[in-house]
Structure 1
Amino acid sequence: MAGQKNIYRRSFTLITIFLILITVTLIIAVFIAYKLTTKYVENEFTSKKIEVQEQTIKPYTEFFQTKIPEITSYQGFLDSASAANYSSTVFKAYPFVTRVLFYDIQIGNPTLRPYNAGISVKATYRFKPKPGRISALKDMAAANEEDFRLMALKLSRFISVADTTRLPTQDEIFETFYDVKPDKISYLNIPRREDIKIYQSLLKNKRSTAFYKQNMLTFFLDPYRLAIKNTHKELYQRVTIQPVVYDPLDVEHGHIVTEVTLPGAFSNFKLYFSSSRKHLSKEIDRRFLPIGGVVLLTYCFLVLICWLIYRNLNVNLKVFKLQYDFINNFTHEFKTPVSVIKIAGSNLRGDAELSERQRKHYGKILDEEADKLNELMNKLLSFTQLENRSINIHKQEINLNDFVKSYINTFRIKYPDFKLAYNIDDVTDFYSDPVLLGSIFQNLMENAYKYSHPGKKELFIDIKQDRQDVVFSFADKGIGVAKTEQADVFKKFYRIENQYNQNGSVGLGLAFCKELVNFMNGKIILHSKVNEGSTFVVILPLQN
């Protein structure tokens, strides 16, 4: 037993160590997971700004790549009215365009304009958005602006070296027909190859008086009118457009910042991102929650495994203890009658002459002890048969008054100091197996006598009908059963540790009663108070 207990103690110690280990591992895992989540969110704070930038400048990209090249489709035949209509669509779709400057250009004899290869401005118009309309203003002073002179020079160079056997490349188009400056984009419509051939012939023919049209538009942009699309509000609490040189000396306490430069005509501005650490902490906690939940669920699963192992070990330890006590008590129960039988047999085999009275006395001893052994073996055998459901119920009509009287008379003869009384209400005949019912009476009455103080060995049996059941109550004034043990007394081999169990009890009596009652489709209930007594209530079907 000591060796077995040591094994279980070692097992419990290992479980405790394992529980501590997984708890420490949980704490470390939670700490590492939170740190990694924090690092991941901080990295996203730095990298996701590109997505915000792309979404914010998407209208600008569309304007630059799609809307501006539409000018080429007019093939230089834009006039003030059509340019006004075109500018109106630009103002409506792209609020960051504040005004448009339209150049109605003509290309003629280069001797008239030697510096620009005959490229001159016929008329210039300024367009501005107004509520519900567009403001148009003719402004010839713009003809000498640097923008026009630069674009005219680029066009003249392109005409002089252009290869009309092929289309211009994208690089050539961008270098010649676009001029991107901070807050401003100038665009010149791209002439067809046939037009370029004509322009080249104009350069060679100094006497030509013909003129050809080209269109140039300059768009003035305001970056502050860009609609900021914060696609990651969980990361960026505040996004603003600031000049590239913007660099506050004192960043607000508890805030982290990052930035990204805007492209093209907005290259002198940047998106400035700012978030409080509290704002980021909320996002970190939100992302960490499922991770922490998985870790906690894993921990709970491991704890559940530990608890199941502990419970099984505890149950095994109790079963082992019960079996150990059963073997000891059962051995004692066998040893006593065997010893008495051996002594009686030795006396009978002895050489001394025995009187008739002595022979009868030894015979009676042998008979009684054999009955004890037989009763013990029958109880074990019956218990096994009950568990295996190998006993058949032999129903017959039982007169309860006669049945109870016979057991009371038997116990009064067996235990003269046992005070017995009974009462039967509204039920006389009962259909059941008298042998099985008798076993219940036998065990409960034996227990009532055995577990009562001297002078208080009393038992009152009350029988009554409750609807379709018969209720048998066995109320004694014995030592009682503690609440903590009331659920265990019906378990096989369980014994209450007290002085009444020191002289032999195998812990089968009440377990046997419960099995019998269950087998008869009934139930047994215990009501008990320590040192006040116990009441065993057996409920059996009236027509069992």
Structure 2
Amino acid sequence: MKAQKSIYRKNFSLITAFLVLITVSLVIAVIISYNLTAKYVENEFASKKIEVLDQTVKPYNDFFQLKIPEITSYQGFLDSASAANYSATVFKSYPFVRRVLFYDLQISNPASKATITHNQGISVKAVYQYKPKHGNVKGAKDMAWSNTDDFKQMALKLSNFISVADTSRLPTQDEIFRTFYNVTPDKISYLNIPRREDIRIYQSLLKNGNVKAFYKQNMMTFLLDAHQLKVKNTHPELYQQVTIQPVVYDPLDLDGGRKVTEAALTGAFSNFKLYFISTNEHLDHEIDRRFLPIGAIVLLIYFFLVLIGWLIYRNLNINLKVFKLQYDFINNFTHEFKTPVSVIKIAGSNLKGDAELSERQRRHYGKILDEEADKLNELMNKLLSFTQLENKSITVKREEINLQQFVKGYIDTFKIKYPDFNLTYNIENVSGFYSDPVLLGSVFQNLMENAYKYSHPGKKELFINIKPEKRNIVISFTDKGIGMARYEHGDVFKKFYRIENQYNQNGSVGLGLAFCKELVNFMDGEISVTSKINEGSTFTVTLPLGV
């Protein structure tokens, strides 16, 4: 069987190579996936700041696009009280607005007198200042002069717009932004947008010096504080700290253990930026968190491949064992047939020879022919019975068995057959039971034959013990033979399995115990074995006691 062992080594080497290959692939996959995850987190650290910026400046955008244009809805009729109410709603919703200046304007003929007059007939009647939580403060005309730059810029934009405006259409968004907004760092000035008919009136008023009339306009200047913007860090897993800093902010003590990025604010906050800081440990934790499911999937695939490899190896191992068993079966079975056939042929040749044979010689050769024919017949019957048992083509004929007579009969037969076989038995609290005597006899014969065959010379002993147990009868066969290893206890009942030892090299095809197991199972019973090497074995047969 040396050739078979080399086949096992080749298969084992193949499986080992497969395991090494997928393990190396696992390591490479883990390294690549971890590096890709780290690169992905690094890219997100640089790109997701836009989302944080958008969420942070969203209140400012709402204020700029929605709240400020509400001034136009008053159509220039805001007064100090309504402007105060409007400012209160601004302070409540937009805490980054720290002060509001309300300019009560009027447009008149350039020759008219006004409190604060622009050279195109746009003047300021009064200026009011509003602060959050401190009430409203009404300013005097000298306050207007302190903010003349804001007023002059807006008045100039309005007068230029009126002089060239096309009243046949609505102004475009670009014209509205250039004319009615003035956005500078930390400050937004807004002038309410007049209607087309109002613009036509303003055009005639500014051109016709004889018209004496006054028309109201509203202008508001919002002074902002960027530090009052609420930073909305929508990605805390990436950014450990997000602060608002001046554009010129550039710390000199930045160490290599941190990652930094920044994003500039827009509009009135263009002189500030969002400053993002994260330590390497913080980002490593995020990388590990994102890599965990990827690593789990890779490991799952790895274990799946290992399972496939194990199943392939097990299948190959089983197939090789089956091949070995079949090879041994054919080898031994051929030997079993060859020996009696050879003896029969020799005896036949002697009988048909030319030499005269005495009566004693003829009887001797006849006995040899008869015994060898019985051996062949017994072997064929065993194979046939085994096949019939597997195909369920045998019916169990239950008869009452007298255990005393049944066991004593087999013991007497074996004592005649094997004079050196020490056989004893014991029957406890049971005289008989119902079963098939032929099938049970085959079990007795096989187990007793094995006890004799697999025992050392001079220690060929067998003790048969029969006792009832609940609704079953338990028959145990205990010998003092060569025994077997623990790992072989389950295999000895398999077809063609043979224990490799000096007692099993000839005269066995590995069917005896498998035949016993099939017989016992067919009678609705069970068979088991306990054994120790060089101490002996005990085969236990459990059969139903009732009819």
Question: TM-score normalised by the shorter chain: which range applies?
Answer: over 0.9
Deviation at 1:217, TM superposition (A): 0.4
2:268 maps to 1:302? no
State the partner residue of 1:135.
136
Deviation at 1:389, TM superposition (A): 1.6
- State the distance in 1 between where 2:140 and 2:539 align: 115
- State the distance in 1 between where 2:493 and 2:266 align: 85
- State the distance in 1 between where 2:446 and 2:355 align: 42
State the partner residue of 2:105.
105
- State the distance in 1 between where 2:254 and 2:383 align: 87
State the partner residue of 1:171.
174
Describe the SS at the equivalent of 2:283. Answer: helix
- State the distance in 1 between where 2:206 and 2:93 align: 40
Is the CA contact 1:111–1:117 (under 8 Å) kept in the aligned structure 2? Answer: no
Matches within 5 A, 1:220-231: 220-231=223-234
Describe the SS at the equivalent of 1:129. Answer: coil
Matches within 5 A, 1:119-134: 119-130=122-133, 134=135
- State the distance in 2 between where 1:4 and 1:309 align: 18
Is the CA contact 1:97–1:222 (under 8 Å) kept in the aligned structure 2? Answer: yes
2:479 maps to 1:476? yes
Q: Residue type of the partner of 1:20?
A: V
State the partner residue of 2:43.
43
2:71 maps to 1:82? no
- State the distance in 2 between where 1:388 and 1:256 align: 77
Deviation at 1:367, TM superposition (A): 0.3
State the partner residue of 2:432.
429
State the partner residue of 2:349.
346
Is the CA contact 2:453–2:503 (under 8 Å) kept in the aligned structure 1? Answer: yes
- State the distance in 2 between where 1:435 and 1:390 align: 15
State the partner residue of 1:196.
199
Matches within 5 A, 1:32-431: 32-112=32-112, 115-130=118-133, 134-144=135-145, 145=147, 146-431=149-434
Describe the SS at the equivalent of 2:381. Answer: helix
- State the distance in 2 between where 1:525 and 1:140 align: 115
State the partner residue of 1:26.
26
User: 1:12-46 CA distances to partner (integer Å, 9 max, x unpaired)?
Assistant: 43332222221111111111111111111111111
- State the distance in 1 between where 2:138 and 2:541 align: 110
State the partner residue of 2:521.
518
Is the CA contact 1:88–1:134 (under 8 Å) kept in the aligned structure 2? Answer: no
Deviation at 1:134, TM superposition (A): 2.8
* Structure 1 residues without counterparts, runs of 5 or longer: none
Deviation at 1:398, TM superposition (A): 0.9
Deviation at 1:266, TM superposition (A): 0.6
Backbone CA RMSD of aligned residues = 1.5
Describe the SS at the equivalent of 2:70. Answer: helix
Deviation at 1:10, TM superposition (A): 4.0
Q: Residue type of the partner of 1:110?
A: P
- State the distance in 1 between where 2:389 and 2:210 align: 131
- State the distance in 2 between where 1:187 and 1:202 align: 23
TM-score normalized by the length of structure 2: 0.96
- State the distance in 2 between where 1:353 and 1:404 align: 46
- State the distance in 1 between where 2:140 and 2:92 align: 23
* Structure 2 residues without counterparts, runs of 5 or longer: none
Indicate the larger mover: 134-143 or 80-89: 134-143
Describe the SS at the equivalent of 2:491. Answer: coil
Q: Residue type of the partner of 2:478?
A: A
- State the distance in 2 between where 1:210 and 1:129 align: 36
Deviation at 1:252, TM superposition (A): 3.5
Q: Residue type of the partner of 2:101?
A: L
- State the distance in 2 between where 1:66 and 1:116 align: 32
Deviation at 1:278, TM superposition (A): 1.1
- State the distance in 1 between where 2:207 and 2:36 align: 72
Is the CA contact 1:458–1:477 (under 8 Å) kept in the aligned structure 2? Answer: yes
The structure 2 residue matched to 1:490, chosen from 489, 493, 511, is 493
Deviation at 1:491, TM superposition (A): 1.3
User: 1:313-345 CA distances to partner (integer Å, 9 max, x unpaired)?
Assistant: 111111111111111111111111111111111
- State the distance in 2 between where 1:482 and 1:192 align: 107
- State the distance in 1 between where 2:105 and 2:255 align: 53
Q: Percent identity?
A: 75
Query: Using a 3 Å threshold, how does the CA distance of structure 1 residues 507 and 341 change in structure 2: closer, same or farther?
Result: same
Q: Residue type of the partner of 1:92?
A: K
- State the distance in 1 between where 2:71 and 2:44 align: 41
Deviation at 1:285, TM superposition (A): 1.3
Is the CA contact 2:181–2:189 (under 8 Å) kept in the aligned structure 1? Answer: yes
User: 1:222-268 CA distances to partner (integer Å, 9 max, x unpaired)?
Assistant: 11111111111111111111111111123233111111111111111
Deviation at 1:4, TM superposition (A): 6.5
Is the CA contact 2:101–2:222 (under 8 Å) kept in the aligned structure 1? Answer: yes
- State the distance in 2 between where 1:2 and 1:142 align: 112
Paired residues in the alignment total: 542
Deviation at 1:427, TM superposition (A): 1.6
Query: Using a 3 Å threshold, how does the CA distance of structure 1 residues 213 and 115 change in structure 2: closer, same or farther?
Result: closer
- State the distance in 2 between where 1:424 and 1:322 align: 38
Describe the SS at the equivalent of 1:526. Answer: strand
- State the distance in 1 between where 2:142 and 2:536 align: 120
State the partner residue of 2:530.
527
State the partner residue of 1:453.
456
Deviation at 1:8, TM superposition (A): 5.5
Deviation at 1:2, TM superposition (A): 6.6
User: 1:42-83 CA distances to partner (integer Å, 9 max, x unpaired)?
Assistant: 111111111111111111111000000000000111010000
- State the distance in 2 between where 1:136 and 1:14 align: 91
User: 1:506-534 CA distances to partner (integer Å, 9 max, x unpaired)?
Assistant: 11111111111111111111111111111
- State the distance in 2 between where 1:255 and 1:265 align: 30
- State the distance in 2 between where 1:77 and 1:483 align: 105
Describe the SS at the equivalent of 1:164. Answer: coil
Q: Residue type of the partner of 2:153?
A: L
Is the CA contact 2:454–2:481 (under 8 Å) kept in the aligned structure 1? Answer: yes
Deviation at 1:456, TM superposition (A): 1.4
User: 1:442-471 CA distances to partner (integer Å, 9 max, x unpaired)?
Assistant: 011111111111221111111111111110
Deviation at 1:7, TM superposition (A): 5.6
- State the distance in 2 between where 1:460 and 1:419 align: 8
- State the distance in 2 between where 1:194 and 1:184 align: 30
Deviation at 1:140, TM superposition (A): 2.3
- State the distance in 2 between where 1:112 and 1:527 align: 126
Deviation at 1:142, TM superposition (A): 3.0
Deviation at 1:97, TM superposition (A): 0.4
2:444 maps to 1:441? yes
User: 1:147-188 CA distances to partner (integer Å, 9 max, x unpaired)?
Assistant: 111111111111111111111111111001000001110000
